[in-house]
Amino acid sequence: MRAEDNAKFVYFLVALNILPHSVELPNWVIISGLTFVFWKYASDHFNIPTPNRWLIYGLGLLTGLGVFFEYGTVMGDEASASILVIAVSLKLFEVKKYRDIMIVTILCYFLLMSKLISSQTMIMTIFMLVDLVLITSLLALHHSPLDQGNAKALIKRSFRLAVLSSPIVASLFIVFPRFNMGLGNNTQRNLAEMGFSDRLNPGSVADLMQSDQLIFRARFPNDDQLAPNQLYWRGAVLSYVDGLRWERGAVYKNFFRFRRDARPPEGTIVTEIHMEPQSGKNLFVLDWPSFVKFPEDRRNYRVKKYPHQIYESRTPFIKREYYTVYSQVETFKVNWEPFEQDIFLKVNGEVSQRVQELVDQLNSDDSLTAPELIRKIYDYYEKNGFVYSLKNPRMETVDDFLFESRQGFCEHYAGVTALLLRLMGVPSRVIVGFQGGEGSFLGDYLSIRALDAHAWLEYYNQEKQGWIRLDPTVVVAPLRIVGGAGELLDNLGENPAQRLGVKWVQDVLGDEALKKYFAAMMIFDQVDASWSNFLLKYDFEYQKNILQSLGISVSARWLLAGLSSLFLVLFLGLLLIIFSRQRSRGDKVTEIYWRLLKKIQQAGIVKQPSEGPVDFADRTLEALPLYRQELQKIFTDLLGYRYSSQLATKQQLKDLEAQIHQLKIHKQLNKEKSSSQEIGS
């Protein structure tokens, strides 16, 4: 590679390692970093002036203040990553010497590592492997003069180093103790927003249907088989109602922790919820939950339990995490807490005369039970042509829904039905969360996405002394509950390719290509989920099981740490023994090379500090044409022994020393100078 090509490679690597941070860092940080990279590139190729030292310091201070005002701190994952992005891009303006290039190269490693802290997805893992080879190639570029013009050889050497080091990495990964602890000072400023809200406004749930974003995955370790109409993922309970608007209300006033000795009940459905990074704290649980636990949270300190089976995490999910839920599939098995009925009977705001007349019509007989009243509400929906629609017509009041548009989404049906029940004296509330889920390629987990957002309600049954789930969507859109949100959207004419932004695949390559694309995405999601599941569960217990299978019994972390240290010392000692011979011969080649330089220096030719071996050899051969043949053989042998993967034999080194010893360049040059002086006189 030429010098300008080397510079382009450096700029490319810096930009490449900035781009993955665009997911969690502010846009202005990414744009600033890429602008500085392009500025440096433009100054090299288009004669655009570079900033002087004081302007660089000023830009660094200005962007540093911007990071502080963005996060309120310069500590934490995102704030530190932002400063690192700015620092690396500004450092390019100071790249003049070999040392500067090495600093930028090492900082590229740090950029990659800072991204791996927040993301270990399969895509990020693949990117890491490719990026490691490229960064190592940049190191090899400045340490392998023979290969500087051969990019393929450089990448091949870097890949070889990565492959050779993989057994070391795998061994350390298995042996060294794993501690599942979060990093402090997380700003939580730009975590992924899933759009879930613990309030219900017209259109709030419908908006989520436009997104295919993954919210969480659900696994059933005991292979429990549940029907689609049992897959209700509880998120929040809404008790305050004012027209079409529902909010959390008083049920969230107090929370309590699980007792330290609390244990999940026997015979329950066990579900593992693998959450994606997000800013919310809601713990989505399969109805009806009775116990929730995070791994290695022995005191269950992180889980906040509210009345009415509501659970939250004390901290948001800043990275992929999982927790275990123990649920009952029947409501009468749940130990419901006593509650004040007035909370779930109260209706805020005014109720129109038309709504009150409808309530009086439906509740004409005071002897009707709650199930009978619900049946009459359902009959009203069916007889008056109510339909399920994703298009949200302009509705501001309950009257608009019941008497004008007569169409709406799950949130409208759940909210209005719960309101009618309250007006009839039946305690009720709205539940928001998700319903259903898409099966995986191998069928071992469910993917719950934003489009699976759903709202339903619960009413209190006096006879069973428990809350009963009620989903009015079954009346107007049974396909939503049985077939899932995706099938309902397809049935309503929504193009999945259009929704997912891959309509071009269908337009350009056809329907068959689109099917293959979706199949490939399912396979990739399966691989990504398996990889994520392995990383999430690879803790101390997992390590103990692996070591026990190898015949190593470990009962404490300190013992594993001791074994790790012993393993590392033995491993490094073995490497020292294996490579001691290679290192001594490499030092011998360097010693012979310096001896050659000293002899050539006596003839007036001095190697410059920035001059590589190949460039110096070319200059020497040009300056001493009479000795080209001898010197070319010596230089070729030296460089070959120094950079070849095969070690030079003792005899080869001995012969090379003899050739250099026999060189009489300085004496020959003195004779030639004397002869030229005589001819001139």
* pLDDT tens column, 424-447: 999 999 999 998 888 888 888 899
Q: Which of 399, 517, 520, 436 shows the shortest CA–CA distance to 209?
A: 436
Q: What is the pLDDT of residue 461?
A: 86
- Using the predicted structure, report yes or no on whether residue 420 has a pLDDT greater than 90: yes
Alpha helices in 286-388 (DSSP H): 353-362, 370-383
- Using the predicted structure, report yes or no on whether residue 185 has a pLDDT greater than 50: no
CA–CA separation, 246 vs 410, rounded Å?
13
DSSP, residue by residue, 301-323? -SEEEETTTEEEESS-BSS-EEE
pLDDT category of residue 178 using cuts at 50, 70 and 90: low
The answer for residues whose C-beta is within 8 angstroms of residue 337's C-beta and 6 or more apart is 307, 308
Average per-residue pLDDT for the chain: 78
Q: What is the pLDDT of residue 677?
A: 43
* pLDDT tens column, 653-664: 788 888 888 877
Q: What is the pLDDT of residue 225?
A: 82
* pLDDT tens column, 51-66: 888 888 888 888 888 8
- Using the predicted structure, report yes or no on whether residue 579 has a pLDDT greater than 60: no
Q: Token pair for residue 499? A: 């929704």
**Annotated domain spans of the chain:** 3-175, 204-499, 508-555, 560-680
- Cα-to-chain-centroid distance, residue 309: 30
- Using the predicted structure, report yes or no on whether residue 182 has a pLDDT greater than 50: no
Whose tokens are 């959390």? That residue is 248
- Using the predicted structure, report yes or no on whether residue 417 has a pLDDT greater than 90: yes
pLDDT, mean of residues 103-113:
87
- Using the predicted structure, report yes or no on whether residue 382 has a pLDDT greater than 70: yes
CA–CA separation, 36 vs 18, rounded Å?
12
CA–CA separation, 493 vs 445, rounded Å?
27
- Using the predicted structure, report yes or no on whether residue 377 has a pLDDT greater than 90: yes
Higher pLDDT, 546 or 19: 19
Higher pLDDT, 181 or 338: 338
Angle 145-147-153 from CA coordinates, rounded to 5°: 155
pLDDT, mean of residues 88-105:
83
* pLDDT tens column, 330-345: 877 777 777 888 889 9
Q: What is the pLDDT of residue 191?
A: 47
Instruction: Determine which of 117-126, 182-191, 214-223, 471-480 has the lowest per-residue pLDDT on average.
Output: 182-191
pLDDT, mean of residues 121-128:
84
* pLDDT tens column, 473-528: 888 888 777 666 665 665 555 666 666 666 666 667 777 777 787 788 888 888 88
pLDDT category of residue 4 using cuts at 50, 70 and 90: low
Q: What is the pLDDT of residue 186?
A: 47
Query: What's the Cα-to-Cα distance from 410 to each of 8, 414, 425, rounded to whole Å?
Result: 55, 6, 23
* pLDDT tens column, 149-170: 556 666 777 777 777 777 777 7
Higher pLDDT, 579 or 425: 425
The fraction of the chain above a pLDDT of 70, given in percent, is 77
